[in-house]
Structure 1
Amino acid sequence: MRQNPSFAMTDVGELRRVIEQNPWMTLVSDTPDGLVASHYAVLLDEDRDDLTIVGHVGKPDDAVHGLGERELLVVVQGPHGYISPGWYPAGPNVPTWNFVSVHLSGIPEILGPEENLRVLERLVAHFEATLPGPRLLWEPPNDPGYVRRLEQGTVGYRLTPTKVVAKRKLSQNRPGETVDTIIAELEAGSSPYADPRLPAEMRRARDAMRRAGDAR
């Protein structure tokens, strides 16, 4: 991902927020057979306060990726959406796409069976928590044998990234009035190609720039 200093995200708290709110991620490896990509849910490591993540892959994806043997790129895709040139002041303009994305790279640590089970249990609990009748991993009709077989079909990992590239491209290079107009258009549903969370991300970026300007 090409970086632009104006769009760079470096605050660990903000990066953790984006990771936490966008758990469906893309895992990419450069293998002897070429590039390989898979898609899995990933969570922040609850025992760490950095950008360490935990997750799992189903077998044989561990072998396909060479998991634990080579660098893994994890792509976190935050809110994004199409921005029409019609939302800019009169004059020549081109459309663009606003987005938030975080790339985490490193060689993952492979988890043992018991720790992998804890990660699987936490993943299920995390996503079931907001449902009216949550079904947790160890609850009937799942029995211990069934849960153990599930674990044996997966490989858990922990990734403490050695490289982080994060970008928040949210019209920060535009005048404040234009940013406000884009936010209003997005909130009005003017773009069918935008995540409804995008205007809130634009507000966060705009407000952060204003605070930085006030501090100078």
Structure 2
Amino acid sequence: MHPNSAFRPKEDDLAELLVREIGFAAIFAGTPDGPRVAHAPVLLSDDGTTLQFHLARGYALTRHLAGATALAVVQGPDAYVSASWYADADQVPTWNYVAIEMEGAATKLDDAALVAQLDTLSTLHEARVGANPPWTRAKMNPALFSKMTGAIIGFELRITAWRPTVKLSQNKPADERERVAAGVEAAGHGALARLMRHLGGDRDGA
């Protein structure tokens, strides 16, 4: 999390919204072999207190995760910011980005909870892609589905700390923020430019 408090989202639900919409995270934890990371689709509970995911058994992280304190990071849009976009020549380049960190203890899910997680994930994302009819595990051979789920382990992270960073030039005056947004947009990062214009407008002089 960025140490500058100007880069904290003011909207209470923004971090949860980003996690739900992006739906994919890097999961970090310490292991006896050193720090390890895995990447997985995630499901945030309705009340924002738990995050579920599953990992292949072969990940270096998987066998050490149950009972460990873990960090899940959801990355939003990001882009390089050229110092030439500022009026003041005494500036340096930087990077604007969105990142949501969630920390907590990880527990292993039982088989029923893992299957429920997979069903929820497929229902959610099949609806998003507009599949008609949507895929469900009912289309699979049950024995093959069971064999494939045996190759993964489900986890739940009970979130004890949220650390969101929404670094969108909020610490710059409005005119400079707009120049940066225009530069970012011209470089092909339209989503980040839109976020800058939406979230940065109430922080002049921060």
Q: TM-score category by the smaller chain?
A: 0.7 to 0.9
Query: What is the aligned length?
Result: 204
Deviation at 1:12, TM superposition (A): 3.8
Structure-2 change in CA distance of 1:77 and 1:61 (3 Å): same
Matched, 1:206 2:190: no
Alpha-carbon deviations, 1:31-62, whole Å to 9, x = none? Answer: 111011111111212xx322421111111337
Paired with 1:57 and 1:89, the residues of 2 have a C-alpha distance of 48
**Match runs of 1:52-63 below 5 Å:** 52-61=50-59
Listed as ranges, the gaps of 5+ residues in structure 1 are: none
Deviation at 1:183, TM superposition (A): 1.7
Verify the 8 A CA contact 1:36 1:64 in the aligned structure 2. no
TM-score, normalization: structure 1?
0.84
Question: Match of 1:181?
Answer: 179
Aligned counterparts of 1:146 and 1:14: Cα–Cα separation in 2: 39
Cα separation, 2, equivalents of 1:111 and 1:95: 45
Q: Which has the larger displacement, 170-179 or 17-26? A: 17-26
1:21: Cα distance to partner?
2.1
CA–CA separation in structure 2 for the residues paired with 1:10 and 1:172:
11
Residue in structure 2 matched with residue 137 of structure 1 by the alignment: 136
Q: Which residue identity is paired with 1:27?
A: I
RMSD of equivalent CA atoms: 2.2
Q: Describe the superposition over 1:52-108 as per-residue Cα deviations: whole angstroms up to 9, x where unpaired.
A: 211111113376451222111111111111111121115222111001111111111
Query: In the alignment, which residue of structure 2 is the partner of 1:3?
Result: 3
What is the TM-score of this pair, normalised by structure 2? 0.88
Aligned with residue 108 of structure 2, among 83, 103, 110: 110
Percent identity of paired positions between Structure 1 and Structure 2: 25
Query: Secondary structure of the equivalent of 2:162?
Result: strand
Which of 83, 87, 90 is the equivalent residue of 2:81? 83
| Conserved 8 A contact 2:27-2:40 | yes
- For structure 2, the residue ranges without an aligned partner over 5 or more in a row are none
- Secondary structure of the corresponding residue to residue 35 of structure 2: strand
Higher fraction of strand: 2
Give the Å deviation of 1:109: 2.3
* Partner secondary structure for residue 137 of structure 2: coil
After superposition, give the CA deviation of every residue in 1:150-184 in whole Å (9 maximum; x if it has no partner): 22221111212112211111101100011112222
Aligned mates of 2:63, 2:172 — CA distance in 1:
41
Equivalent positions of 1:32-181 (< 5 A) are: 32-45=32-45, 48-61=46-59, 64=62, 66-133=64-131, 135-140=134-139, 142-181=140-179
Task: State the alpha-carbon separation in 1 of the partners of residues 40 and 11 from structure 2.
Answer: 25
Please name the residue that 1:20 is paired with.
20
- What's the CA shift for 1:197? 1.4
